[in-house]
Amino acid sequence: MLSQFSAIEGRSFGYWKLVIFLGVLALMGLGAFVAVEINGHGITGMNNKIAWGIPHVFAISLLVMASGALNVGSMSTVFAVKQFKQFGRFSAFLAIALLIGGLAVLMLDLGRPDRLLLTVMHMNFRSMFTLNVFLYSGFILLCFLYLWSMFEYQQFTKVIGSAAFLWRVILTTGTGSIFGVIHAREVFHSAITAPTFVAISLSSGTAISILLLVTTFKRTNRVLEDKVVFGLRNAFIFFTFLVAYLLVVEKFTRYYSPAFYDVQSWILTGPYAWLYLFGVWGATIIIPLAVLFNPKFGNSIGGVMVASFSSIIGTFAFVAHLLLAGQSYPLKMFPGYEVSSAFLDGQVATYTPALIEFVLGFGGIGIAGVIYLLGIKFFRMIPNEAVAPEGYELPWNP
Amino acid sequence: MRSLPSYPARFPLLLVLVWAIFVLPSVVLASGTPDHDASANSHPSYAGGPPQLEKAKGESCIRETEWMRRNHMDFLKHRRAETVRQGVRIRSESLLKCAECHQSHEKFCDQCHGYVSASPDCFECHVYPK
Amino acid sequence: MTMDRRTVLGLGGVAAAGVALAPGLTLIAAPPPDKSEASGDQRWAMLIDVTKCESNCTACTRACRQENNVPLFGDPTRDIHWIRKLEIRDKDHRRPSVSLPVLCNHCENPPCAHVCPTEATFIRKDGIVLVDKHRCIGCRYCMLACPYKARSLVYHKTEFPEGGNPNVPIRAKGVVEKCTFCVHLVDDGKQPACVQACGHAGHKAMIFGDLNDPKSEIAMRIREVKTQTIREDLGLKPHVHYQGL
């Protein structure tokens, strides 16, 4: 078993260039955090209507992808898909890296990050945030144990892997419920918000695994059999359909009820319509499916990469749409009335993100990236060669 | 395939990385941001011993001076939680009453806080009447 | 014998602890005569008679800013509003517009307190919903949860205003704040600043009092006239009632 995996060499100029690039991103993120801490949130673009802005888009997208990154491992451990077993270590480790990156952004954007310890000293168990504190820390712990068992104690892998799979479903439900349970906001108050988060974490997690696996194998000159990638591709197509299904059901249910005509038409025609149509539908669903169902592109690694990349962009768009459109749509305090005030009641909120918010957000990506790159250099995460089992045929090809 | 260094040799590096990610921000936080005028707190030299505090105006403090010297911070914090969360108000012992005897924040509070380099942020929001 | 020795040691420990704690005990020894505490016997509430509220009058909002040192930053998207005047009009413009103040509704089931991870937002025993600004971590989840937009994050550093009210602290940047029902006045048996100002302006559109006291004006009015709360459908049971909406 030991001989199957090896750490990457990581001595090349390209490798260190990448590490330094991501490290600089991470440091710039920390710099942005310090700047916001000193000057207050006045230097961001956020305001009293859009209280959660671009940093949260990055943070929540990373958290969603983190739980999704565990897919590849779960597929082998829980659902016994043999050819993915070799990616188990990669998958659990990537999940930890992305989760730390996302959590860092979430914490560094607090108004009073110096009081972070209060979240563990005074807990309000009715708050989704408090529950998420347990879900995130538990997830990191389970992923770590899962990783450990895959390295040393394989007899426990099945048990821990199953627990981690169960936990990641609850975790993503918890992340989605941060929004789903808020009754005041028409755009995202829905029982289906959390399941949609689970689905989109499945698709985006698989997408980022495909991207990183192909890139890592290519850059380290290791063999990654196309058939294995196409296996992931098929799973990815299935997950994308799942996302599309949930999005359609949500829209259908809302549009059936006249009470939601206003908000739903606003989503499709309002200032964030482009994000919904091109981001959520275009990048998450239409582009990946169009590419992957094309016999030429769908059967090429390049095509699969494009589809995966598009899906990741789409995940950011999904979270951004949910957050920004959800907060800008005016609160319906007096249904059926026009409202106006000095506090901009009854108006769609405007929000121009500041550069510093993006810097903070990319800082999270930098942190996750550096952890991943150093992890595969110092631990035996990546198999020497990834091939499908003897006689394995893909059940479907475009 | 090349030979692999054992885990222990590589593990510290990862530890350092994780340490850097979590500890560096907290160092930045702990060092704090000097929001108010730092010169009020800093004293040029303490060669002549501890600073002399301004004499209080009234006859006696609400607690013994010795006890207050040691415990005023916990006392204030305890009261703070009670007042905010349970609405406990003792008019004769409110924070604003301190200023009736200890009339100058600069000549009383800041002197000692500067000496022991304590920088409470109470009065960034609360008013200490002059 | 060993047991005895242990007992002796234990007694010594207790005595030492007693000596150490004794000074602290003065804290609870004798409650001062001027002490008061929020009590569950009371349930503070407000009634706003919309028919008496005048459209161009801002007495309540100005009084609130004065009393609570609430600053204006000059940026309408980030200004802090504890109370604001709303103009509402039916969409077909068939009826004249109605003017009314909106403030924190001090709900019995406050979503802001439900979502607060550190219990910085809490309900006092007498029903007032407060933000403990010493405990707020600035996560802004409450701002998403509040259906009344009653909350503001402090985006900029604020200064104590000229001629400000020393009884109310100003705010640190990075925490969320909102209307307190002028809790410092209520605890002294006074009326909130907006209610006082509305009376002084001669409108008397706002009354404030204890719902649990059947003889209070607010309890009687709520029994006698038809009142509403904003977004009753959410089940939050707000304590700001409106008459003539």
Q: Is residue C28 domain-resident? A: no
Minimum Cα–Cα distance from B95: chain C residue:
C167
Please state which of the ranges A32-46, A71-85, C15-29 shows the lowest mean pLDDT: C15-29
Minimum Cα–Cα distance from B22: chain A residue:
A104
What whole-number distance in Å separates Cα of residue A344 and Cα of residue A331? 11
Minimal Cα–Cα distance from A84 to chain C, Å?
39
- For the ranges C24-28, C73-77, C141-145, the maximum mean pLDDT occurs at C141-145
Residue range of the domain that includes C63: 46-243
For chain C, the three-class secondary structure string (H helix, E strand, C coil) is: CHHHHHHHHHHHHHHHHHHHHHHHHHHHHCCCCCEECCCCCCCEEEEEEHHHCCCCCCHHHHHHHHHHCCCCCCCCCCCCCCEEEEEEEECCCCCCCEEEEEECCCCCCCHHHHHCCCCCEEECCCCCEEECCCCCCCCCHHHHHCCCCCCEECCCCCCCCCCCCCCCCCCCCCCEECCCCCHHHHCCCCCCHHHHHHHHCCCCCEEEEECCCCCCHHHHHHHHCCEECCCHHHCCCCCEEEECC
**Token reading at C135:** 């405990």
pLDDT for C18: 55
| Domains of chain A from N-terminus onward | 2-385 (1.20.1630.10)
B90 in contact with chain C, both atoms CB, cutoff 8 A: yes
pLDDT for A1: 42
pLDDT band at A103 (very low <50, low <70, confident <90, very high): very high
Q: Is the pLDDT of residue A344 over 70?
A: yes
Q: Which residues of chain A does C139 touch, with a Cβ-Cβ cutoff of 8 Å? A: 110-111, 129
pLDDT for C82: 96
Give the 3-state secondary structure of residue A76.
helix
pLDDT for B40: 47
pLDDT band at A2 (very low <50, low <70, confident <90, very high): very low
**Arithmetic mean of pLDDT, A305-328:** 96
pLDDT band at A213 (very low <50, low <70, confident <90, very high): very high
Please report, rounded to a whole number, the percentage of residues in chain A having pLDDT higher than 70. Answer: 99
Q: Which residues of chain C does A51 touch, with a Cβ-Cβ cutoff of 8 Å? A: 140, 143-144, 153
Confirm if A73 and A87 have CB atoms less than 8 A apart.
Answer: yes
Q: Is the pLDDT of residue B130 over 80?
A: no
Neighbours of chain B (3+ CB pairs under 8 A): A, C
Q: Which residues of chain B does A371 touch, with a Cβ-Cβ cutoff of 8 Å? A: 17, 21
Packed helices B7-31 and A88-108: angle between N→C axes, nearest 10 degrees: 10
* Other CB atoms within 10 A of residue A220 CB: 18
Q: Within 13 A of C45's CA, how many CA atoms are on the CB side?
A: 26
Which residue did the predictor score with more confidence, A127 or B31? A127
Distance of alpha carbon A272 from its chain centroid, rounded? Answer: 21
Q: Is the pLDDT of residue A217 over 50?
A: yes
Please state which of the ranges A185-199, A273-287, B108-122 shows the lowest mean pLDDT: B108-122
Minimal Cα–Cα distance from A42 to chain C, Å?
5
Domain count, chain C: 1
CATH assignment at residue C144: 3.30.70.20
B63 in contact with chain C, both atoms CB, cutoff 8 A: yes
C116 in contact with chain A, both atoms CB, cutoff 8 A: yes
Minimal Cα–Cα distance from B36 to chain C, Å?
11
Q: Is the pLDDT of residue C34 over 90?
A: no
What whole-number distance in Å separates Cα of residue A7 and Cα of residue B5? 10
**Arithmetic mean of pLDDT, B35-64:** 70
**Arithmetic mean of pLDDT, C85-109:** 92
Please state which of the ranges A123-132, A169-178, B7-16, C41-50 shows the lowest mean pLDDT: B7-16
A111 and C137 within 8 Å at the Cβ level: the answer is: yes
Q: Which residues of chain B does A100 touch, with a Cβ-Cβ cutoff of 8 Å? A: 21
**Arithmetic mean of pLDDT, C174-181:** 95
Chain B with chain C: Cβ pairs closer than 8 A? 62
**Arithmetic mean of pLDDT, A256-273:** 92
pLDDT for C60: 95
Which of B35, B64, B85 is the closest to C132 by Cβ?
Answer: B85
Q: Is the pLDDT of residue A147 over 70?
A: yes
Q: Which residues of chain C does A48 touch, with a Cβ-Cβ cutoff of 8 Å? A: 77-80, 143, 149, 151-153, 155
Q: Is A1 exposed, middle or buried (0-12, 13-18, 19+ CB in 10 A)?
A: exposed
A124 and C116 within 8 Å at the Cβ level: the answer is: yes
What whole-number distance in Å separates Cα of residue A302 and Cα of residue C92? 56
* Other CB atoms within 10 A of residue C240 CB: 23
Nearest CA-CA partner of A167 in A86, A250, A239, A96: A96
Confirm if C77 and A341 have CB atoms less than 8 A apart.
Answer: no
**Token reading at C222:** 């709520």
Q: Is the pLDDT of residue B93 over 60?
A: yes
A150 contacts: CB under 8 Å, gap ≥ 6? A88, A89, A92, A157
B28 and A37 within 8 Å at the Cβ level: the answer is: yes
B2 and A38 within 8 Å at the Cβ level: the answer is: no
**Token reading at A235:** 């799973």
Element (H, E) at A224: strand A223-224
pLDDT for C17: 59
pLDDT for B39: 46
pLDDT for B92: 87
Residue type, C144: L
Q: Is residue C79 domain-resident? A: yes
A30 in contact with chain B, both atoms CB, cutoff 8 A: yes
What whole-number distance in Å separates Cα of residue A89 and Cα of residue A151? 8
**Arithmetic mean of pLDDT, C44-62:** 94
pLDDT for B1: 44
Average pLDDT in chain C? 88
pLDDT band at A11 (very low <50, low <70, confident <90, very high): confident
Neighbours of chain C (3+ CB pairs under 8 A): A, B
* Other CB atoms within 10 A of residue B119 CB: 14
Please report, rounded to a whole number, the percentage of residues in chain A having pLDDT higher than 90. Answer: 84
Q: Is the pLDDT of residue B33 over 70?
A: no
pLDDT for C21: 56
Distance of alpha carbon A285 from its chain centroid, rounded? Answer: 15
Which of A40, A183, A341 is the closest to C87 by Cβ?
Answer: A341
A380 in contact with chain B, both atoms CB, cutoff 8 A: yes
Which residue did the predictor score with more confidence, C2 or C138? C138
pLDDT for A237: 96
Q: Is residue C30 domain-resident? A: no
Minimal Cα–Cα distance from C116 to chain B, Å?
15
Average pLDDT in chain B? 77
- For the ranges A79-88, A341-350, B103-112, C101-110, the maximum mean pLDDT occurs at C101-110
Which residue did the predictor score with more confidence, C2 or A17? A17
Minimal Cα–Cα distance from B101 to chain A, Å?
33
Average pLDDT in chain A? 93
| CB < 8 Å & 24+ apart, contacts of C86-90 | C86/A333, C86/A339, C86/A340, C86/A341, C86/A345, C87/A339, C87/A340, C87/A341, C87/C55, C88/A334, C88/A337, C88/A338, C88/A339, C88/A340, C89/A337, C89/A338, C90/A336, C90/A337, C90/A338
Q: Is the pLDDT of residue B30 over 90?
A: no
Minimum Cα–Cα distance from C90: chain A residue:
A337
Which of B84, B92, B125 is the closest to C170 by Cβ?
Answer: B125
Q: Which residues of chain B does C118 touch, with a Cβ-Cβ cutoff of 8 Å? A: none
pLDDT for A388: 87
Q: Which residues of chain A does C89 touch, with a Cβ-Cβ cutoff of 8 Å? A: 337-338
Minimum Cα–Cα distance from B33: chain A residue:
A38
Chain A with chain B: Cβ pairs closer than 8 A? 43
Give the 3-state secondary structure of residue A196.
helix
Sequence spans of domains, chain B? 58-130
Which of C90, C149, C155 is the closest to A42 by Cβ?
Answer: C155
B89 and C26 within 8 Å at the Cβ level: the answer is: no
**Token reading at A345:** 């009641």
